[in-house]
A and B are shown apart, each in its own frame.
Chain A
Amino acid sequence: QKEVEQNSGPLSVPEGAIASLNCTYSDRGSQSFFWYRQYSGKSPELIMFIYSNGDKEDGRFTAQLNKASQYVSLLIRDSQPSDSATYLCAVHNYGQNFVFGPGTRLSVLP
Chain B
Amino acid sequence: DVKVTQSSRYLVKRTGEKVFLECVQDMDHENMFWYRQDPGLGLRLIYFSYDVKMKEKGDIPEGYSVSREKKERFSLILESASTNQTSMYLCASWGFGQPQHFGDGTRLSIL
Chain A residues proximal to chain B, CB less than 8 Å = 32, 34, 36, 41-46, 49, 88, 90, 97-98, 100-103
Chain B: CB-nearest residue to A94: B96
Chain A: CB-nearest residue to B41: A102
Size of the chain B interface, CB-CB below 8 angstroms = 16
Contact status B90-A44, CB under 8 Å: yes
**Residues of chain A within 8 A of B42, CB atoms compared:** 100-103
Q: Tell which of A34, A43, A97 touches B105, judged by Cβ atoms closer than 8 Å.
A: A43
Contact status A88-B43, CB under 8 Å: yes
Chain B: CB-nearest residue to A102: B42
Contact status B105-A42, CB under 8 Å: yes
**Residues of chain A within 8 A of B107, CB atoms compared:** 41
When chains A and B are docked, how far (Å) is the Cα of A44 from the Cα of B91? Answer: 11
**Residues of chain A within 8 A of B90, CB atoms compared:** 43-44
Closest CB of chain A to B109's CB: distance in Å? 14
Contact status A43-B104, CB under 8 Å: yes
Chain B: CB-nearest residue to A6: B42
Closest CB of chain B to A12's CB: distance in Å? 20
